[in-house]
Structure 1
């Protein structure tokens, strides 16, 4: 079978996510036949190094033998069962382990099947907690500018990336949006920690003004991934935890993209030494194998719903595939790898190689910033390095990088003008060097001329 056959069939019937389908008149789809480790292979034997972990989900490589075996064993025992009134051993074991490894105080797990749904659970649960606690006036949320939390309506509402949100504004609840502590906007000589402390004034003002009507503050700890991989210092989270406690507002940590070792610690919140009231997990939870999400919360929140049925305080929220045994088996196998191998230690070595391999790009005339948090590294292309003036989005400079990378056997999928690497943890140092080389070539091509590219 040839690539063209699959592509022709696809374009007749499939509507792809986050895609202007007309692009595929000139930008060929890549049909993938198989995956192994960091590699994806098409139907004609061409291979592509998966530098973005297939949308940030893959931790330990494609077709990982340990996870394969765990899912295969589970599928022979129980593929799915309703989790209302029933339970099963994989979901109990997974919940026990998540409670054990997440920050202290997160004692109960509520399951969904994707990251956006985990956010919806946290939003509804926070609001419902205050309602059950006699505070029905608390109906609002505070978010950060440039944040992203998913694309179902509730999750979309508490994000702030206009590309995804603007079209649907009439349908959405209205959060209070506070300027993010983005280190990209630091003044000359200012540290990222100083930026975080300076910008926290805006959050403090919002809490002082709106805490009485606010359920929760929601943040992506350390890295705003879909928001062009913008990064900030952990001290902001430390200040935020203290302020939320002082003002009587919940803290929701969206660790969907940054959890499970991406930022250098198992969970990003650890770097600030804090425990949120809600932690949302997905993506790496199953190492990219199956759709599964978990929203963890505290015993205090749980107890606010625990009452006689007639009181109508129960959290009547459900998903058909809540706590799916196959997903739980994949997640347990993923946690087994963290337990039995020095994953975080190895990642520190790989992260250092990523730093070294891309260091020269800091001097590129059209790269404003090379920034990194753990296993996430981003290079931001700009029209003018001195003023940091961006390229017009219509020029689609990142698309030129994407095309070049494919021609060299790599999957790099920039966010606008931001080229980034978020590879599986099984990548080698030599493969990191290759990605850095391809990225540098792509940046040179994308910034070499004026006008529309792509």
Structure 2
């Protein structure tokens, strides 16, 4: 099909995610992708500046990842994971636990980030139930986003996602994200909540709150909050769906925080964007609360595609890439380049706050505009016309480029951003 034919049939048949179709721009009709670029049906290329929602961290059609799936597909492409196991799942679990924070001990498989959070919340509720406690409340950070399923949505603080469902959500108490300035006040709030509520879990995005316009939080302050909740027997859940696998400068954002979570949620870059897969890892202590002669104390949550061998094989290959010198050097180069660009970007009159953590770079436009609407669509379109794919969060423009991004590609991105700023300043 031509791009025009695809768009015509798309408009006829398809309902896209996170889209108000009456006001949205027509989607880009992508025909293929290679390396760090997307290509439309007319042959125009677009640099994937957000790694396709932070998943394709090793570029598109990475040879090592595509080979892993080719090698696996003729051996075992799927099997029920309840009552069965296989080498790809065992191999992935072993590799993953070697790089996860030291207290993680068990791996639970699912298919997407929202579900990994749903599982974590259920684990926390049942952990207390199995120990004879009925704890029903969850503490979450203001502005957090954890997914679209009901538990994950409940823990999220974005009204545009939650509005129609507010009366149906689980009991979630939101607190400000801790900073060096407010940590003492936040700890006082935590003390009051602990005294007045039966809190099952505390869920947080470590270091970077993605959907909150890449808000970046203080590791030391967050560490103190985690410590206090854990001292009260509250299960701490790190949602690393976005931050996991190197984006913050370490394998996981939790590596930069002394007090470790009890449960970690992973997806997105887990398979390098090749296959849908998610993982919820936990400590031995959490697992042991379910280990019992009574069947009903087991964790009765399952998905048809849990532990899919193809996903396991490609995720295992992705970990090999992550720990390689080539990718580690690439991440370091991007981090250093971003740091240098921050200095230049900060001087522009149209730029407000600039934030940088690992390969994540975000800045605010010094204008007033809505998170969604025509102005945002205009920014989308401007960058598309220049051959760059990104998704502004209101007046926040951010980059999360693939680890395979070259210095020349970074220069192109930075130059394009400055051109955009200059075009808006006229």
**TM-score category (smaller protein):** over 0.9
Q: Structure 1 unaligned runs (5+)?
A: 182-192, 384-389, 449-454
2:207 is matched with 222
8 Å contact kept, 1:39–1:47:
yes
1:234-293 deviations in Å (ceiling 9; x for gaps): 102320232022211110000000000000000001111232100000001101111100
1:151 is matched with 148
1:98-141 deviations in Å (ceiling 9; x for gaps): 222111121001111000000000000100010000112x1110
8 Å contact kept, 2:327–2:404:
no
Deviates more, 1:196-205 or 1:420-429: 196-205
Matches of 2:279 and 2:189, distance apart in 1: 27
Matches of 1:91 and 1:113, distance apart in 2: 14
Task: Say if 1:196 and 1:231 are closer, same or farther in 2 by CA, change over 3 A.
Answer: farther
SS in 1 for 2:102: coil
Q: Which has the higher contact order (CA 8 A, sep 6+)?
A: 2
2:4 is matched with 4
8 Å contact kept, 1:400–1:446:
no
Matches of 1:120 and 1:365, distance apart in 2: 43
2:28 is aligned with 1:30:
yes
2:186 is aligned with 1:200:
yes
Deviates more, 1:339-348 or 1:415-424: 339-348
1:91-240 alignment, distance < 5 Å: 91-136=89-134, 138-181=135-178, 194-195=180-181, 197-198=183-184, 200-210=186-196, 213-240=198-225
8 Å contact kept, 1:281–1:295:
yes
2:348 is aligned with 1:348:
no
8 Å contact kept, 2:180–2:221:
no
2:241 is matched with 256
State the 1:444 CA deviation.
Answer: 4.0
Matches of 1:253 and 1:279, distance apart in 2: 5
1:81-96 alignment, distance < 5 Å: 81-96=79-94
1:382-401 alignment, distance < 5 Å: 382-383=366-367, 390-393=368-371, 396-401=374-379
8 Å contact kept, 1:237–1:269:
no
Deviates more, 1:90-99 or 1:40-49: 90-99
1:16 is matched with 16
SS in 2 for 1:372: strand
1:7-28 deviations in Å (ceiling 9; x for gaps): 111111111111111235xx33
Q: Structure 2 unaligned runs (5+)?
A: none
Superposition CA RMSD, Å: 1.7
Matches of 1:254 and 1:332, distance apart in 2: 21
8 Å contact kept, 1:265–1:344:
no
State the 1:441 CA deviation.
Answer: 2.6
8 Å contact kept, 1:111–1:323:
yes
1:334-382 deviations in Å (ceiling 9; x for gaps): 0111233342343122111123234322122332111111011001113
Task: Say if 1:140 and 1:173 are closer, same or farther in 2 by CA, change over 3 A.
Answer: same
